[in-house]
């Protein structure tokens, strides 16, 4: 088996990171690859960098249309049986594709793998997702239809089966202009199994220009609102696809998912005037978060106790008392440095 693997790099004004992404794709130990680089109308010197690679890559320059349009365009010109979408601010380790191909099976719709998370200065921050979070494998569709989510990766941590992608692409470019990985990972389980590789196979760079990265050292309520709206876009496409394929949903997606309810209750309590769901109440969200944690989260009982208590604290306490609690969950820099350092060391030692 020697399948062609397409690495599609999407770029917009990431010239400071782009060469590392392209070089990582071209340097793979697996020989049968094509590297497609899509520039989404950059205004920096990205297009000059792309031109410097000549025939080593397949360049595609287009007007700015958002990340979804870049992935759609790259997929149209690619030919690989396995497709990796690589964000231009991330990069792959040298053996990444070789390990993906070695573990590949015919019924796989997506192979996901952990990433090492670094900052803009290449400082190692953590493993992503953190090792406390168990990656889902196999038939994850029941979990997806129950919660609207399963344990999955960001764009650069996935290798997709082309035959499955054909059934869900093009990505809707208006609704998923940014973060189109949410669309891909939400629909791909309808068309095959998910295989998870626990070993990190690449780098996920966290910096101020990421779609979900915090700006400065303060909790940004707007980020919570963006997360909530993005979740509801995903719930819609999941529901539509389930209906199309004959599945019946008898409940509202999101109520069983503590990861959705955390930003939702934080948004409500920090800025109720601009919260996107007018019918929400702190008590109801606290109750839903409590049961979602105890019934559906894959934690030990101690972590469940902490997270479920967090929901009632944030849902019911006065606002001055909830900000530190929200910071501990969403802003790692708000944790005591000794605790944050210890958590990172433990995770890195057991990877």
Query: Above 60 in pLDDT, residue 324?
Result: yes
Does 333 have pLDDT greater than 80?
no
For range 221-235, the mean pLDDT: 95
Mean pLDDT in residue range 211-226: 68
212 vs 75, 130, 264, 305, CA distance in Å? 24, 17, 15, 27
| pLDDT more than 90, % of the chain | 81
CATH number of 5-205: 3.90.550.10
DSSP single-letter state for residue 171 = P
Residue 172 has pLDDT above 90, yes or no: yes
Q: Is the pLDDT of residue 331 over 80?
A: no
The average pLDDT across 260-271 equals: 96
The partner residues of 197 in beta bridges, in order of sequence, read 113
Nearest Cα neighbor of 115 from 207, 181, 200 is: 200
The per-residue pLDDT for 351 is 38
Considering only residues 23 and 334, tell me which one the structure prediction assigns the higher pLDDT. 23
Query: What DSSP string describes 104-146?
Result: --TTEEEEEE-EEEE-TT--EEEEES-TTSPPP-B--HHHHHH
**pLDDT band at residue 339, thresholds of 50, 70 and 90?**
very low
Predicted confidence at residue 56, as pLDDT, reads: 98
The pLDDT of residue 117 is above 50: yes
Looking at residue 44, its pLDDT comes to: 96
The kind and range of the H/E element at 324 are helix 319-330
Q: Residue 227 pLDDT more than 50? A: yes
Span 15-40, average pLDDT: 98
Which has the closest alpha carbon to 169: 40, 77, 68? 68
Query: How confident is the model at residue 334, as a pLDDT?
Result: 47
CA torsion, points 296, 301, 302, 304, in degrees to nearest 10?
20
Q: Given a cut of 60, is residue 349 above it in pLDDT?
A: no
Please tell me the predicted confidence (pLDDT) of residue 344.
Answer: 52
Measured torsion, CA atoms of residues 275, 278, 309, 134, in degrees rounded to the nearest 10: -70
Residue at token pair 């934690």? 299
Dist CA 79 CA 4 (whole Å): 8
- 343 pLDDT exceeds 80? no
**Lookup: tokens for 165:** 């992608």
Q: What pLDDT does residue 51 have?
A: 98
Predicted local distance difference test score (pLDDT) of residue 298: 81
pLDDT of residue 332: 56
Whole-number percent of the chain with pLDDT over 70: 91
Strands 108-113 and 158-161: antiparallel
User: What average pLDDT does this structure show over 133-161?
Assistant: 95
Question: What's the pLDDT band for 133 if we cut at 50, 70, 90?
Answer: confident
Cα(10)–Cα(182) distance, integer angstroms: 16
Range with lowest mean pLDDT among 25-34, 154-163, 314-323 = 314-323
Of 138, 129, 24, the C-alpha closest to 86 is 24
171 against 331, higher pLDDT: 171
pLDDT at 134: 86
**Domain ranges for the chain:** 5-205, 221-330
- Each residue's pLDDT tens digit, 182-191: 999 999 999 9
45/23 Cα distance (integer angstroms): 17
């Amino acid at each position: 088996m020697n399948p062609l693997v397409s690495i599609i790099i999407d770029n917009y004004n990431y010239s400071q990171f782009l060469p590392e992404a392209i070089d990582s794709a071209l340097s793979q130990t697996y020989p049968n690859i094509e590297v497609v680089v899509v520039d989404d109308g950059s205004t920096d010197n990205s297009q000059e960098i792309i031109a410097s690679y000549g025939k080593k890559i397949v360049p595609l320059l287009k007007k700015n249309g958002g990340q979804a349009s870049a992935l759609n365009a790259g997929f149209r010109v690619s030919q690989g049986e396995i497709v990796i979408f690589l964000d231009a601010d991330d990069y792959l380790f040298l053996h990444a594709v070789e390990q993906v191909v070695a573990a590949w099976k015919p019924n796989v719709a997506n192979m996901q793998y952990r990433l090492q998370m670094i900052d803009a200065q290449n400082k190692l921050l953590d493993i992503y997702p953190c090792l406390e979070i168990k990656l889902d494998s196999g038939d994850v569709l029941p979990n997806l239809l129950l919660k609207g989510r399963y344990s999955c990766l960001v764009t650069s941590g996935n290798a997709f089966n082309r035959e499955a992608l054909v059934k869900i692409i093009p990505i809707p470019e208006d609704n998923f202009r940014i973060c189109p990985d949410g669309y891909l990972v939400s629909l791909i389980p309808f068309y095959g199994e998910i295989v998870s590789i626990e070993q990190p196979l690449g780098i996920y760079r966290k910096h101020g220009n990421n779609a979900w990265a915090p700006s400065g050292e303060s909790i940004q309520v707007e980020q919570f609102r963006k997360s909530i709206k993005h979740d509801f876009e995903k719930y819609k496409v999941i529901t539509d696809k389930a209906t199309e394929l004959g599945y019946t949903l008898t409940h509202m997606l999101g109520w069983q998912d503590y990861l959705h309810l955390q930003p939702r209750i934080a948004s409500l309590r920090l800025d109720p005037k601009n919260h996107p769901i007018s019918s929400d109440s702190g008590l109801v969200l606290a109750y839903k978060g409590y049961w979602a944690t105890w019934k559906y989260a894959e934690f030990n009982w101690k972590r469940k106790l902490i997270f479920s208590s967090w929901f009632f604290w944030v849902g019911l306490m006065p606002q001055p008392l909830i900000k530190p609690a929200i910071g501990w969950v969403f802003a790692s820099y708000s944790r005591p440095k000794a605790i944050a350092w210890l958590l990172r060391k433990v995770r890195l030692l057991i990877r």
